[in-house]
Chain A
Amino acid sequence: NAGVTQTPKFQVLKTGQSMTLQCAQDMNHNSMYWYRQDPGMGLRLIYYSASEGTTDKGEVPNGYNVSRLNKREFSLRLESAAPSQTSVYFCASRLDRGLQGTQYFGPGTRLTVL
């Protein structure tokens, strides 16, 4: 049981390049989330998916797109990377059972945009 996994661990892009961050969970969780973490800013929600086939914007969605490919996988795409997107990206998942349902985080992807 690997929990939440993310690839890649590190990535360096040039301004204008595109890339997809991958996330997968093997806990049969319904909801999945993408956050970015910047120094002094805490964790900010980019997009989330309540179930397979549905996605919704979070606090900072501009410049990103997401795909909930199936129940296990939730990817985050940067179409045209900008230096402001330099950050650490965390994927998380949650099993929805009323008030239960801790969010479990992946190991993170450290992205640098030059």
Chain B
Amino acid sequence: GENVEQHPSTLSVQEGDSAVIKCTYSDSASNYFPWYKQELGKRPQLIIDIRSNVGEKKDQRIAVTLNKTAKHFSLHITETQPEDSAVYFCAAFNAGGTSYGKLTFGQGTILTVHP
């Protein structure tokens, strides 16, 4: 089955700096890669996603890049703000076979943005 590795496990930045979180996946058939943000005590919420036919996607201060050949994808947050502090999860989805939308999640990255 799919295996997703996420790094780093913790990331501390100063307000205004950029933050980058990286994930690798094992199944070359995976074709959908969402990123979730989870604030303390809250549910995971989708912040951005990318499909395998796209190399990069941007939404204001957040961008995601995908390298299918190397099987890795990254989340980039620019001009970080204290409210960006949360746990971020990457995930991979293989639409083939009988997966029925099963997402495989990375272990999560705790991002702390210091004012």
Interface positions of A (Cβ within 8 A of B): 31, 33, 40-45, 48, 50, 56, 58, 90, 94, 96, 98-99, 101-108
Residues on B with C-beta less than 8 A from A48 are: 100-102
Residues on B with C-beta less than 8 A from A108 are: 43
Q: Which of B34, B95, B108 contacts A102 (CB 8 A)?
A: B34
> Are A99 and B32 within 8 A (Cβ)?
yes
Contacts A42-B89, A43-B89, A98-B95 hold; do A56 and B100 have CB atoms under 8 A apart? Answer: yes
Within 8 A of A (CB), among B43-80: 43-46, 49, 51
B81 at the interface (CB under 8 A from A): no
Q: Which of B9, B34, B89, B101 contacts A31 (CB 8 A)?
A: B101
> Are A105 and B45 within 8 A (Cβ)?
yes
> Are B105 and A107 within 8 A (Cβ)?
no
Given contact pairs A33-B101, A33-B102, A103-B101, a sample of 11 additional A-B residue pairs in the complex whose CB atoms are under 8 Å apart: A31-B101, A40-B108, A42-B89, A42-B105, A90-B43, A90-B44, A96-B101, A101-B101, A103-B46, A105-B44, A106-B43
CA distance A103 to B101 in the complex (A): 8
CB distance from A88 to the nearest CB of B (A): 9
CA distance A99 to B105 in the complex (A): 17
B31 at the interface (CB under 8 A from A): yes
> Are B43 and A105 within 8 A (Cβ)?
yes
> Are A99 and B31 within 8 A (Cβ)?
yes
Residues on A with C-beta less than 8 A from B43 are: 90, 105-108
Residues on B with C-beta less than 8 A from A90 are: 43-44
CB distance from A97 to the nearest CB of B (A): 10
Q: Which of A42, A56, A98, A99 contacts B107 (CB 8 A)?
A: A42
Residues on B with C-beta less than 8 A from A98 are: 95
> Are B101 and A94 within 8 A (Cβ)?
yes
Contacts A40-B107, A42-B107 hold; do A102 and B100 have CB atoms under 8 A apart? Answer: no
Question: Which B residue sits closest to A93, measured CB to CB?
Answer: B101
CA distance A94 to B89 in the complex (A): 18
CA distance A106 to B42 in the complex (A): 9
CA distance A13 to B105 in the complex (A): 28
Residues on B with C-beta less than 8 A from A104 are: 46
